[in-house]
Structure 1
Amino acid sequence: MILLIVTLVIFLLAFIFSMLGLGGAMLYIPVFHWFHYDFKSVAIPTGLLLNGLTALSAAVYYIRAKMVDIKGSIPLIVSSFLGAPVGAYFTKFVPTKTLIILFAIAMIFAGGKMLLSAGQKEKEKKMKELPKMILMSIGGFFIGFIAGLLGVGGGFLFVPMMLAMGYKTKEAAATSAFVVIFSSFSGFAGHIAEGHFNWPLMIATSIAVIIASQIGAKVMKEKMKARWIKQMFGIILLGVAVKLLIKVLL
């Protein structure tokens, strides 16, 4: 019964996060934790797997719709792919409570950034190619490390970074979904190597996110406005961050 309830909740979250260009691990992991799955050995690796599957399913739709900057995403893909397993390795050295606090702080940063930028006009031009590639490579490794450590795909940091470099909101969300695939599965592989998995939970929730993310991607492309995407992103992340901090600190 618990597995069914968790799967339905994950289905709804995958629908929402596929519209934002995120894998959804920032909410998948707290959900697993609230249903008493172990944070390190089950919640984080399962969250990374679902994160990658949600992003993969949505990215297929976005690529077909020509919304993804594939060439521009290569520095992020390579650097985050390298950083994620390094972060996954260091998970065993960080206490669970510390991981949750770091997780919540990262969510507050990303959520606040999105809400503050929701009403701002979209930038007209991207950065020049060479500075953009250098910054995205450095930022990508750091984001990949954080993704592997905290069990997230990194989309909550990829999107703000790309917006700062001049990407349109929908292009940033779509490209982020593509990039998140690689950092998520790289981090997931690192956890599997450490023996962290729960196959019944992974299989049931994987089916749910694949279906839900296709629906969410279609809705984002055809119905959503850039301002709405940023506002949804910010509100969801801040709400979950506050709930996590209250539970850990009080």
Structure 2
Amino acid sequence: MKTLFLYSVVGVFSGFINGLFGTGGAIPILILFTYLAYDTKKAFATANFTVVLLSLVTFFFYLKRGVITGDITVDFFKKAFIPALVGGGIGGVFLSEISPAFLKKLFCVITIIGGVGVIFK
């Protein structure tokens, strides 16, 4: 019962974070999976899958409420979506090749760099 409660709280919080910022919903999920001692690679893969679903829901809410417009979406798609798919495929291949310890460190470094970049931009 305690685990179900944790999943529910983290799920709501992840959805909120992802909806508010458009990204970041995986972080609370990864914290939960780490707390529950899940396999690191499975935790990252599951969190990524969950965030894809969260992002789709968020996208439709953004679109419905006029937060994003078709021109921005089409412009992004033309310039970055295909390269992002390629990068996602490469990342998916590397996930099975790198150690869990390195994966955790890399995630933390990228998260910190991203956070610092947002603060000082």
The TM tier, using the shorter chain, reads: 0.7 to 0.9
Q: Kindly indicate whether the alpha-carbon contact (under 8 Å) linking 2:22 and 2:58 is maintained by their aligned counterparts in 1.
A: yes
Deviation at 1:156, TM superposition (A): 2.0
Q: CA deviation at 1:153?
A: 4.9
Number of residues paired by the alignment?
117
* Amino acid of the structure 1 residue aligned with 2:119: L
Q: 1:165 to 1:210 in 2, by over 3 A?
A: same
Offset, 1:228: 0.5
**Against the structure 1 CA distance between its residues 153 and 238, is the aligned structure 2 distance closer, same or farther, given a 3 Å change threshold?**
closer
Q: Identify unmatched segments of 5+ residues in structure 1.
A: 1-129
SS of match in other structure, 2:23: coil
Question: Any stretches of 5+ residues in structure 2 without a counterpart?
Answer: none
- Counterpart check, 1:191 vs 2:62: yes
Contact map agreement 1:147 1:154 (CA 8 A) in 2? yes
Alignment equivalent of 2:92, drawn from 217, 237, 241:
217
From 31, 34, 38, give the equivalent of 1:167: 38
Structure 1 length-normalised TM = 0.44
Residue number in structure 2 paired with 1:135: 6
CA 1:183 to 1:153, structure 2 compared with 1: closer, same or farther past 3 Å?
farther
Q: Which residue of 2 aligns with 1:241?
A: 115
Shift of 1:159: 1.0
1:131 & 1:182 partners in 2: Cα distance?
25
Higher RCO, 1 vs 2 (CA within 8 Å, ≥6 residues apart): 1
Q: Is contact 2:13-2:28 (8 Å) kept?
A: no
SS state of the match for residue 2, structure 2?
helix
The answer (yes or no) to whether the contact 1:159–1:176 under 8 Å persists in 2 is yes
Question: 1:209 offset after TM fit, Å?
Answer: 1.6
Question: Matched residues in 2 for 1:225 and 1:161: separation?
Answer: 20
Distance change (3 Å), C-alpha of 1:246 and 1:200: closer
TM-score normalised by structure 2 residue count: 0.87
Distance in 1, Cα, partners of 2:78 & 2:32? 32
- Aligned AA (1:135): L
**2:102 corresponds to which letter in structure 1?**
W
Task: Measure, in 2, the Cα distance between the counterparts of 1:243 and 1:200.
Answer: 23
Q: What secondary structure is seen at the aligned counterpart in 2 of 1:167?
A: coil
**Runs of 4+ residues deviating >2 angstroms:** none
Q: Secondary structure at the match of 2:37?
A: coil
Amino acid paired to 2:29? F
Paired-residue identity, %: 26
